[in-house]
Amino acid sequence: MTKKLVVIKRECSKRSWSRIRYRECMKNHAANIGGYAVDGCREFSAAARGQERVEAELACAACGCHRNFHRVEVVDS
């Protein structure tokens, strides 16, 4: 007997767009020794822009950390 999977998609008439800003770095650089220390990076800025280096767009130019280590701030527009 085979199972049939039915997916029902609900359409949402109202679209809300939010702008996301990446703020200060929250990466704990002293986690391996049991401490807590952040590097002081204040705001995410992409290391490179363009189609050639997608990985560089996810790295911060100031601290070198991945974008996920930076605090997310949602700005409604």
The pLDDT of residue 46 = 85
Q: For 17-31, what is each residue's pLDDT tens digit? A: 778 899 999 999 999
The pLDDT of residue 10 = 66
Tell me the mean pLDDT in the region 30-39: 93
pLDDT beyond 60 at 13: no
User: pTM of the predicted model, to two decimals?
Assistant: 0.66
Contact status, residue 21 vs residue 73, Cβ threshold 8 Å: yes
- Measuring CA to CA, how many Å separate 47 from each of 11, 54, 58, 67, 69? 37, 10, 8, 10, 15
Which H helix or E strand runs over 75? strand 70-76
